[in-house]
Amino acid sequence: MEIRYSDRGVVRLEGELNIQEAGRLRELLLQAFGEVQELSLDLEGVTEADTACLQVLCSAHKSFLTANKTLTTTGVPAAPFIRTVDDSGYRRTVGCHSDPQRGCLWVIGGGRG
Amino acid sequence: MTDTHREAFKEEAHELLGELENALLELEKTPADEDLIGRVFRAMHTIKGSGAMFGFDDIAAFTHDVETVYDRVRGGKIAVTKPLIDLTLSACDAIRRMVGAPEGAALQDPQSASLTQSFRAVLHEQEQPAPGAAEAGAPAPPQRPPEKARRVTYRIRFQPVAELFVSGTNPILLLNELRGLGACTVVAHRERVPLIAELNPELCYTYWDIILTTERDVDAIRDVFIFVEDACELRIDVIDDEGWTDDDGGYKKLGEILVERGDLTLDEIKKALGSCKRIGDILVESGLVAPDKVESALVEQQHIREERQKRQAAEAAASVRVPAAKLDSLVNMVGELVTIQSRLSQLATRSGDLAIIQVAEEVERLIAELRDNTMSVRMLPIGTTFSKFQRLVRDLSTGLGKEIVLATEGGETELDKTVIEKLNDPLIHLIRNSIDHGIEKPEARRQAGKPAQGTIRLAAEHSGAHVFIRITDDGAGLDTEAIRAKAIERGMIAADATLSERELYALILAPGFSTAKEVTNVSGRGVGMDVVKRSIDALQGTIEITSQRGTGSTVSLKLPLTMAIIDGLLVRIAQAYFVMPLAAIEECVELTRADAAKAHGKNLTSIRGQIVPYIRLRERFSIDGQAPAIEQIVTTSIDGLTVGFVVDQVVGEHQTVIKTMGRVYRDVEAVSGATILGDGTVALILDLPKLLQGAEAEIRAQQQTGRG
Amino acid sequence: MGKIILTADDSASVRQMVTFTLKEAGYEVIEAVDGKDALAKAGGRTPHLLLTDLNMPNLDGIGLIRALRATPACRFIPMILLTTESQAEKKLEGKAAGATGWIVKPFKPDQLLAVIKKVLG
């Protein structure tokens, strides 16, 4: 997993988002959670993903929401990422109830993402 | 398996055997050396495993017993002794011979067989002290017949242990495997995923609901989880089945699904339902249920709805409901076609024009097919009628204090719809008879050495153009003496008449005959077997009774597959044509004037020494004119009696489309219908039993007037 | 590039058959003659899957699995144990050590491939 920071508060994740990387992904998001009010993830460069990393993203999203912070994705996530969301049954048509806007990281392609 | 692999195995086997022998010889000196025992076991194990893999099944089978013995040695249950070492060394030789044997020549070596016996004896000795242990050769559970592939929808909840990932398991692969079994919807539950600070990224917090519609059985689903079965909670419920009848395309309500899954209690849902928002919103907002759970239940609803709609669409395409009247009119028209076709055939033959004859033959073939197809459309399995009787038997037998079960077989046998409808009442009557008169009370049965519970068997089977239906009971059987006494009392037979058993049983079918000592509310009063007989006659069927005193009775009904068409014998008297149902006909013999004269005016003739009474149809139907010098007697079997019918000429077999006669002729006795012949002539279809009854009644009347 | 499978078996004939089957199916194979050998070879190129026999000299299958699960690179890879039906309790022991699944000997090439596909995708 490659992590690239842009100047506009966007973090771009590239390469394999799998269990081997889940620990690093958590570290990254935990740190960001402590430091920023808004975080946007760019998943266009993901080549592989698995349930373990989806869990980390989900956990981060929950944490941001609970703290009235914002975690979103920008652009269109790469096909392997979307396939993992679908294969693991993570895709949602409605968001988690803890989100005031009923948004969810897993309402992919629904505009807001 | 390629030969190179086999060769590699042979080489390896020789090496292993050499090593094995060394180990055995050392083991003889130090019989408690666990290392050596381990080496022997491993060598045998490898020989067995690889042998089986490369097609040396004889080696694998032979080595199996040796391996088992050394497994026990390893476990300290069998001691290493000199005889055991000798035995094992002989086994090495045997294996070496098997490895060397040419491929495919399964070595039937008597020596290896006796070695196997010896090893088993060693095992057996060891097992002796523990007689409670399960027998190794216990019979395998009976194989269930393969189930028909039906689309069943399962709800699977897969809740893995947190350590799932550390066992190298990727849950997505399991889910994808399920997707390979059929239409599948997967919803992940993530309410257990903690906040990022508490998250251990190596643990699995997610669990899943999977709705799967598949033709595979539940074992196929379990197989998917075979590697994780002790590392997860797996719950598989059937939530929909193609065979279920209550599908109107709808499905359970959201709340019901959640309660069924144990995600919500009934009380909670009742409370939530107090307000009037959508249940899903209420539950989520009130925090009663995690949103994923609601989503999952919604998905299930959607999945099943789609599945059922698909099914309905498929069913709608696969079968069409048609009013019976339409079918009847179709059959009628086919009947007309058959008639026209035989006229066409006659005309074509007469014209001698080859081209026309060819066309006529083609039409004949097509119409025959059309007729068969049309008839088959009217066929229904008799099973639905059978199943209705279960309740009847249960209720009636309880009312009489009897224990009776109804066993049915051949429910899939198909019969013409009309026949099935008209069979209902006769069958009820026959079953009632068996319950009432046939099967004894439990006490009487026990005394007779029979099980207290009686059995009535209802069986249907096809045989040619007929269906046989048998009602068999294991009751008391018919009392021939009682029948005889009653028949004499009723003046049906002479006191000194000698009747065969069959003839006696046939008497039961006569009007107003009942042998029951007491009238019960089951068999009712005054209605006898004659009603049954009339119904079966009306169906062009026959009825036969057999019985054995003490062991039970059987009533056999022989019915034509269809009523619309019958096989008949076409006969002629002067210019009039008649059709006699072929089912009852036995044979045709000639009747010369000289034969007739011998009987001194009585209508009797002798066929192979048997006296057969006959009825002259020419006289019965008052047909004018002179009978030919040689007439024909068509002998028939009616109610167990042989009766002849005299006609001028037997034309031949004739498949007949039955036309019911108009209302005007409805009361005409002895004729059950009419048919139209190829040349347009009408032929009447004779009702032979009625003809016989009519003739008998006339004779009795004559006798009485004669006396009076 | 095919996925890398590390296979450990002390039987040369089984190794030959397994390697042949896996290569035919497009996998890259690293062969090891026992657990110790396998452990050493896993330190080179990280395998995507381990396929190991149970009974081996030096280090047996269970020991090998336990050791590999302790290496970060192989912590999450699927590991398959080759067993015989008479080793049911070993199967459990293997699971406890971290085996993902098992194949019961004797097996046919397509059975082998089916199990590998099941755990490797």
ipTM of this complex: 0.90
- Option in B4, B50, B230 nearest C11 (CB): B50
pLDDT score of C7 more than 90:
yes
What is the pLDDT confidence band of residue C80, given thresholds at 50, 70 and 90?
very high
Query: What CATH number was assigned to the domain covering residues B566-707?
Result: 2.30.30.40
Alpha-carbon gap, residue B367 to B168, rounded angstroms = 69
Contact call for A52 and B197, based on CB within 8 A: no
The answer to whether A83 touches A53, Cβ cutoff 8 Å, is: no
Contact status of C121 with chain A (Cβ, < 8 Å): no
* Span C39-49, average pLDDT: 90
Contact status of A19 with chain C (Cβ, < 8 Å): yes
Nearest residue on chain C to A19, alpha-carbon basis: C76
pLDDT score of B134 more than 50:
no
* Span B532-545, average pLDDT: 83
Q: Could you tell me which of B144, B152, B37 has the C-alpha nearest to residue B85?
A: B37
Nearest residue on chain B to C108, alpha-carbon basis: B53
Contact call for C106 and B49, based on CB within 8 A: yes
pLDDT on residue B204: 92
pLDDT score of B43 more than 90:
no
Per-residue pLDDT tens digits for B345-359: 888 888 888 889 889
Per-residue pLDDT tens digits for B359-404: 988 998 898 888 878 877 878 888 877 877 887 888 888 888 888 8
pLDDT score of B524 more than 60:
no
Length of chain B: 708
Per-residue pLDDT tens digits for B306-362: 877 777 777 666 667 778 788 878 877 887 787 788 778 888 888 888 889 889 889
pLDDT on residue B102: 66
Q: What is the pTM of this model?
A: 0.51
pLDDT on residue B668: 72
Identity of residue C73: A
Instruction: Looking at the complex, report in whole angstroms how far the Cα of residue B182 sits from the nearest Cα belonging to chain A.
Output: 15
pLDDT score of B112 more than 60:
yes
Question: Which has more confidence, B673 or B171?
Answer: B171
pLDDT on residue A52: 92
Contact status of A32 with chain B (Cβ, < 8 Å): no
pLDDT on residue A93: 59
Alpha-carbon gap, residue A106 to A113, rounded angstroms = 7
Q: What is the DSSP letter of C87?
A: G
Instruction: Looking at the complex, report in whole angstroms how far the Cα of residue C108 sits from the nearest Cα belonging to chain B.
Output: 7
Q: How far is CA B15 from CA B11, B18, B93, in A?
A: 6, 5, 13
Per-residue pLDDT tens digits for B118-130: 888 888 776 654 4
Report the CATH number that the domain containing residue C68 is assigned in CATH.
3.40.50.2300
pLDDT on residue B341: 81
pLDDT on residue B315: 66
Of B164-173, B249-258, B440-449, minimum mean pLDDT range: B249-258
Query: Is B380-560 assigned to CATH 3.30.565.10?
Result: yes
Instruction: Looking at the complex, report in whole angstroms how far the Cα of residue C22 sits from the nearest Cα belonging to chain A.
Output: 24
Contact status of C76 with chain A (Cβ, < 8 Å): yes
Query: What CATH number was assigned to the domain covering residues B3-127?
Result: 1.20.120.160
Contact status of B170 with chain C (Cβ, < 8 Å): yes
Q: How far is CA B560 from CA B535, B596, C44, in A?
A: 13, 35, 83
Nearest residue on chain B to A24, alpha-carbon basis: B201
Question: Which has more confidence, B287 or B240?
Answer: B240
User: What total of structural domains would you count in chain C?
Assistant: 1
Instruction: Looking at the complex, report in whole angstroms how far the Cα of residue A30 sits from the nearest Cα belonging to chain C.
Output: 22
Q: Which domain covers residue C76, as residue numbers? A: 4-120
**Chain C partners within 8 Å of A19 (Cβ):** 76
Q: Could you tell me which of B545, B425, B536 has the C-alpha nearest to residue B477?
A: B545
**Chain A partners within 8 Å of B201 (Cβ):** 19, 22-23, 25-26, 52, 55-56
Alpha-carbon gap, residue C2 to C28, rounded angstroms = 6
Please give the domain boundaries of chain A with CATH numbers for all domains: 2-87 (3.30.750.24)
pLDDT on residue B708: 41
Per-residue pLDDT tens digits for B53-106: 787 888 888 888 888 888 888 878 888 888 888 888 888 888 888 887 765 454
What is the pLDDT confidence band of residue A96, given thresholds at 50, 70 and 90?
low
Per-residue pLDDT tens digits for B507-518: 888 776 765 544
pLDDT on residue B339: 74
HEC readout, B534-592: HHHHHCCCEEEEEEECCCEEEEEEEEECCCCEEEEEEEEECCEEEEEEHHHEEEEEEEE
Of B369-383, C34-48, C63-77, minimum mean pLDDT range: B369-383
Contact status of A31 with chain B (Cβ, < 8 Å): no
Contact status of B136 with chain C (Cβ, < 8 Å): no
Nearest residue on chain B to A62, alpha-carbon basis: B195
Q: Could you tell me which of B87, B80, B72, B73 has the C-alpha nearest to residue B30?
A: B80
Q: What is the DSSP letter of B651?
A: E
For the ranges A17-26, B24-33, B251-260, the one whose mean pLDDT is highest: A17-26
**Chain B partners within 8 Å of C107 (Cβ):** 53
What is the pLDDT confidence band of residue B142, given thresholds at 50, 70 and 90?
very low
Per-residue pLDDT tens digits for A23-56: 999 999 999 898 888 888 888 888 989 999 999 9
Alpha-carbon gap, residue B302 to B698, rounded angstroms = 75
Question: Which has more confidence, B416 or C76?
Answer: C76
Max distance between CA atoms of chain A, in angstroms, equals 34
Question: Which has more confidence, B327 or C8?
Answer: C8
* Span B128-152, average pLDDT: 47
What is the pLDDT confidence band of residue B564, given thresholds at 50, 70 and 90?
low
**Chain A partners within 8 Å of C75 (Cβ):** 20
